[in-house]
Amino acid sequence: MSQPGESRQYAAAGVDLAGAESAKERIGRLVAGTRTPLTAGRVGAFGGMVRIPPGMRNPTLVMSTDGVGTKVLVAQQAGRFDTVGECLVNHSVNDILVHGARPLAFMDYIAGAGLGIEMLADIVEGVARGCRAHGMDLAGGETAQMPGLYAEGHFDLAGTIVGVVEEDAALHGDAVVPGDVLLGYASSGLHTNGYTLARKIAAQDLGLGIHDEWPGLGQSVADAFLAVHRSYARAVTPVFDRMHALAHITGGGIPGNLVRVLPAGCQAVVDPASWEWPPIFRLMQEAGKVSTDEMRDVFNLGVGLIAVLPEGALSAAEAAAAADGVPTWVMGRIEAGPQGVRFTG
């Protein structure tokens, strides 16, 4: 064991073990606050443990790993780290939600250099807040200080979610048929995709600083870009059994994600006149001189989730979303044709 006054070579090289231990203690308290009746094991163990819910006939695990992209750079520039963790959780929840899965456990990974205790605590508090909102255990994670790989104060954030669904109730898209309706669910902003282009438009095309107000938007760049990625769990879980498919609209936009749930012989026909793009997207398109096709490929354009369902289930789905305060609208239909997504007009 090191003695007081002894040279700390690891700290001098850029890794502060004493600071890391202090951060672990604070993070441990946040993790403990997410424990659920399904949690097993203890906080701080080498591995996280979670039980399968009792009473399931054929439980099947659904897993996904993701990050928040260069939204972390926005957080760094703004000095605000309390939303990106929650964005990560909500994004991950939506990724397994589209298979009809219930979230069970989450694990996060934060890597960077020169990451302060307050900064780490803010990030993990966002993760823990997202987990608590979904009754999900933050089962563990990793915080890695890697000077030499990351610039001072820079970091990346990723997470893995584990959920469960009855195998015969899982959504894969194979139930989609011509005549089904496309129901759009409103996003809360950019969510976690398209930030490289968005940051370029704000900084280079408009010359805006992170705390400057975006002309015509009525909010700062930071406020617009750091809005929390919306979770659709409460909006769609009550009507899982009415759905034929769900598509989370992330990187690749509507055409790149809706096609992932279409079987052969089914074409999604989207009516772009069925909704108005939120102002941030129109303003970015104008300032960056971005084509409509590219906007559709990069951004969600105000649509965070699309449900594919029979017309008879429409009223129930709309009611469930309205109960959670999520606006919805009919944005198209499934037609017989080549597998893919087509925009009318």
Listed residue (238, 247, 258, 242) closest to 321, CA to CA = 238
Are 247 and 284 part of one and the same domain? yes
Are 215 and 70 part of one and the same domain? no
Are 108 and 226 part of one and the same domain? no
- Half-sphere exposure for 157 (CA within 13 Å, toward CB): 30
Residue 12's pLDDT is 53
CA distance from start to end of the chain: 72
* Percent of the chain's residues with pLDDT above 70: 93
Residue 31's pLDDT is 80
Question: Which of 139, 169, 199 corresponds to the end of one domain?
Answer: 169
- 44 versus 189: the higher-pLDDT residue is 189
pLDDT at 130 over 60: yes
Residue 16's pLDDT is 56
- 189 versus 345: the higher-pLDDT residue is 189
Residue 9's pLDDT is 57
pLDDT at 1 over 70: no
* 64 in any annotated domain: yes
pLDDT at 100 over 50: yes
* 34 in any annotated domain: yes
Are 28 and 102 part of one and the same domain? yes
Are 199 and 152 part of one and the same domain? no
Are 50 and 191 part of one and the same domain? no
Residue 10's pLDDT is 55
Average pLDDT for residues 285-313, to the nearest whole number? Answer: 98
pLDDT at 3 over 60: no
* 299 in any annotated domain: yes
Nearest-Å Rg of the Cα atoms of the chain is 22
Give residue 7's pLDDT band: very low, low, confident or very high (50, 70, 90).
very low
* 176 in any annotated domain: no
Are 193 and 217 part of one and the same domain? yes
- H-helix or E-strand spanning residue 17: helix 17-32
Give residue 345's pLDDT band: very low, low, confident or very high (50, 70, 90).
confident
Min mean pLDDT across 79-88, 144-153, 155-164, 283-292 is at 144-153
**pLDDT tens across 334-343, in order?**
999 999 999 9
The Cα–Cα gap between 68 and 82 comes to 13
* 239 in any annotated domain: yes
Q: Let me know how many helices (H) and strands (E) the chain has, helices first.
A: 12, 12
Residue 11's pLDDT is 57
- 14 versus 128: the higher-pLDDT residue is 128
Residue 165's pLDDT is 98
The Cα–Cα gap between 103 and 137 comes to 9
pLDDT at 140 over 70: yes
Residue 32's pLDDT is 82
Phi (first) and psi of residue 44, to 5 degrees? 90, 0
Average pLDDT for residues 232-248, to the nearest whole number? Answer: 98
**pLDDT tens across 158-207, in order?**
999 999 999 999 999 999 999 999 999 999 999 999 999 999 999 999 99
| CATH code of residue 162 | 3.30.1330.10
Average pLDDT for residues 236-252, to the nearest whole number? Answer: 97
Are 163 and 224 part of one and the same domain? no
The Cα–Cα gap between 36 and 22 comes to 25
Range of the domain at 98: 10-169
Alpha helices in 70-204 (DSSP H): 71-78, 84-97, 117-133, 195-200
Phi (first) and psi of residue 215, to 5 degrees? -55, 130
Residues contacting residue 278 through CB under 8 Å, at least 6 positions apart: 187, 189, 301, 302
Listed residue (258, 260, 270, 343) closest to 304, CA to CA = 258
pLDDT at 119 over 70: yes
pLDDT at 221 over 50: yes
Are 149 and 204 part of one and the same domain? no
The Cα–Cα gap between 33 and 110 comes to 19
162 has which bridge partners? 63, 105
Structure tokens at 313: 């289930």
Residue for token pair 């672990």? 24
Are 207 and 261 part of one and the same domain? yes
- 6 versus 261: the higher-pLDDT residue is 261
| CATH code of residue 295 | 3.90.650.10
Residue 6's pLDDT is 45
Order of strands across the sheet that contains 303-309? 245-248, 303-309, 181-186, 328-336, 266-270, 340-343
Are 163 and 274 part of one and the same domain? no
Structure tokens at 265: 């012989």
The Cα–Cα gap between 340 and 301 comes to 19
Average pLDDT of the residues of the chain:
93
* 292 in any annotated domain: yes
The Cα–Cα gap between 238 and 7 comes to 59
Are 228 and 296 part of one and the same domain? yes
Split into its structural domains, the chain has a count of 2
Question: Which of 149, 169, 189 corresponds to the end of one domain?
Answer: 169
**CA distances in angstroms from 107 to 130, 142, 197, 345, listed in the order given:** 12, 8, 29, 44
* 19 in any annotated domain: yes
* 104 in any annotated domain: yes
Question: Which of 169, 199, 214 corresponds to the end of one domain?
Answer: 169
